[in-house]
Amino acid sequence: MESERSKVTDMEKKELIYDFDKVVDRKNTYSTKWNVKEGELPMWVADMDFETAPEIVSALSERLSNKIFGYTDIPKEWYEAYISWWKKRHDIEIKREWLIYSTGVIPTLSSTVRKITSPAENVVILTPVYNMFYNSILNNGRNVLESRLIYEKGRYSIDYDDLENKLANPQSSLMIFCNPHNPIGRIWSKEELSRVGRLCLENDVWILVDEIHCDLTFPGKEYVPFLSLDDELINNAIIAISPTKTFNLAGLQTSAAVIPDKSIRHKVWRQINTDEVGEPNAFAIDAVTSAFGKGEKWLDELRAYIYNNKCIVEEYLNDNIEEVSLVYSEATYLLWLDCNKITDSSVKLAKHIRKKTGLFLLAGSHYGPGGECFLRLNIACPKELLYDGLKRLEEGIHSYEKTN
Ligand SMILES: Cc1ncc(COP(=O)(O)O)c(C=O)c1O
């Protein structure tokens, strides 16, 4: 821990270009996150309170100045932006023909569920996991088959025996996998990815890998792309990626599916088009090309800032809220707070904290079995808001203990 902290101090000493300390009033922008009562502080949905990179703002302003917002094609620049980013940042060669445009990762998930599984079949997930996976499965009349992650000494791992069992069920036809994993913030290792990928292949189960958080790793940490695995494993996979989490562009609704296998690619492409989620809005292309083309420096400063925020939280918990501990993580701006010592109902606890202090956090039980005693905290905000949130958390936890 000591050495990790000094890394941040080194980053802080470097000359910084971007101002992540700036507090922006988002209240009158129809923001989903900030649709809260006066005085409340939202630290829930995965959306950052930082202005996006000025390089992206310039590109979008230029597009705006054209003043005509008609239908938009997907140009070669869009393909090149993904291909060169993955080559440069992750040393992965994405072939142009593997890329499919989609308006979002969740639309890709839902279209894939509709196309390659049948009603009443099972879709396997590792819980606790991003709650929208449930929606994509259940809203389409498929079953969720949960394999619960093992939680031991503040760290998570996969229960392979249980997972194998669930994948071997003849009704299982798809697994949806998150890497890095929201909400626990783990980057899965190559060995873990290969093992899961192989279990899927051996059991004739497709794997859909959601890598939307892949660029939000802590300084010095790199995610392992599923595309770095053996050909036979990647040919059994659908990968969902996007710059929207990384660069705070979620409201622009743009993403890509990467599908190496030709026949499954055609099927998913057909469904994305049938579902009418295959066309960009007027700002989507410029958002992607400017983010991947010019956003690298901004991103690296952002990652250092988020990591520093995580260290602040860890220190604050140690000093002031000892009964809550931080789960080990390597990526994302979502922290997973272990509240086992004080509650067996994160819903009750989150409700109490909101009512008492105005701090809006999500209860861990939203993320499925295994989340009952956890809270998810979004730390992608200026330090001033973070400290405000931590003080409210302290008040909320201590008053909860007194009343329960
Ligand atoms: C793991 C994960 N996948 C997908 C999404 C949403 O993706 P999109 O907005 O592209 O549908 C989120 C948003 O929080 C997420 O955390």
pLDDT single digits (tens) 286-313: 999 999 999 999 999 999 999 999 999 9
Segment 13-35 mean pLDDT: 92
Residue where the block lists tokens 């059991």 = 203
Bigger pLDDT: 8 vs 68:
68
Distance in Å, CA 53 to ligand 1 centroid: 20
C-alpha span between 403 and 181 (Å, rounded): 34
Please work out whether the CB of residue 104 comes within 6 Å of at least one atom of ligand 1: yes
Please work out whether the CB of residue 212 comes within 6 Å of at least one atom of ligand 1: yes
Bigger pLDDT: 5 vs 326:
326
* Best mutation site among 32, 33, 130 for ligand 1 pocket (most ligand atoms within 8 Å of CB): 130
C-alpha span between 93 and 27 (Å, rounded): 41
Whole-model pTM: value is: 0.96
Distance in Å, CA 333 to ligand 1 centroid: 13
C-alpha span between 289 and 249 (Å, rounded): 12
Residue 189, sorted as left (phi over 0), alpha (psi -120 to 50) or beta, turns out to be: beta
Q: How many CB atoms lie within 10 A of CB 404?
A: 11
The per-residue pLDDT for 275 is 98
C-alpha span between 379 and 361 (Å, rounded): 11
Instruction: Render the burial of 78-113: b for 16+ CB within 10 Å, e for the rest.
Output: bbebbbebbeebbebebeeebbbbbbbbbbbbbbbb
| pLDDT classification of 51: cutoffs 50, 70, 90 | very high
C-alpha span between 43 and 53 (Å, rounded): 21
* Best mutation site among 106, 127, 134, 216 for ligand 1 pocket (most ligand atoms within 8 Å of CB): 106
Q: How far is CA 291 from CA 48, 69, 73, 295, 382, in A?
A: 16, 20, 18, 5, 21
C-alpha span between 373 and 337 (Å, rounded): 9
- Reported as a single tens digit per residue, the pLDDT across 260-276 is 999 999 999 999 999 99
* Best mutation site among 45, 105, 131, 255 for ligand 1 pocket (most ligand atoms within 8 Å of CB): 105
Is the model's pLDDT at 89 over the cut of 70? yes
Single-letter amino acid code for the residue at 59 = A
* Best mutation site among 101, 110, 132 for ligand 1 pocket (most ligand atoms within 8 Å of CB): 132
Q: Which protein residue's CA is at the shortest distance from atom 4 of ligand 1?
A: 105
| pLDDT classification of 9: cutoffs 50, 70, 90 | low
Domain ranges of the chain: 2-53+296-403, 69-294
What kind of fold does domain 69-294 have according to CATH? Aspartate Aminotransferase; domain 2 (3.40.640)
Q: Which protein residue's CA is at the shortest distance from atom 14 of ligand 1?
A: 46
Cross-strand partners of 181: 186
Q: Which CATH architecture has domain 2-53+296-403?
A: Alpha-Beta Complex (3.90)
Please work out whether the CB of residue 188 comes within 6 Å of at least one atom of ligand 1: no
- Reported as a single tens digit per residue, the pLDDT across 159-206 is 999 999 999 999 999 999 999 999 999 999 999 999 999 999 999 999
Cross-strand partners of 124: 145, 175
Q: Is the peptide bond before 225 cis (omega within 30 degrees of 0)?
A: no
Distance in Å, CA 341 to ligand 1 centroid: 30
Please work out whether the CB of residue 378 comes within 6 Å of at least one atom of ligand 1: no
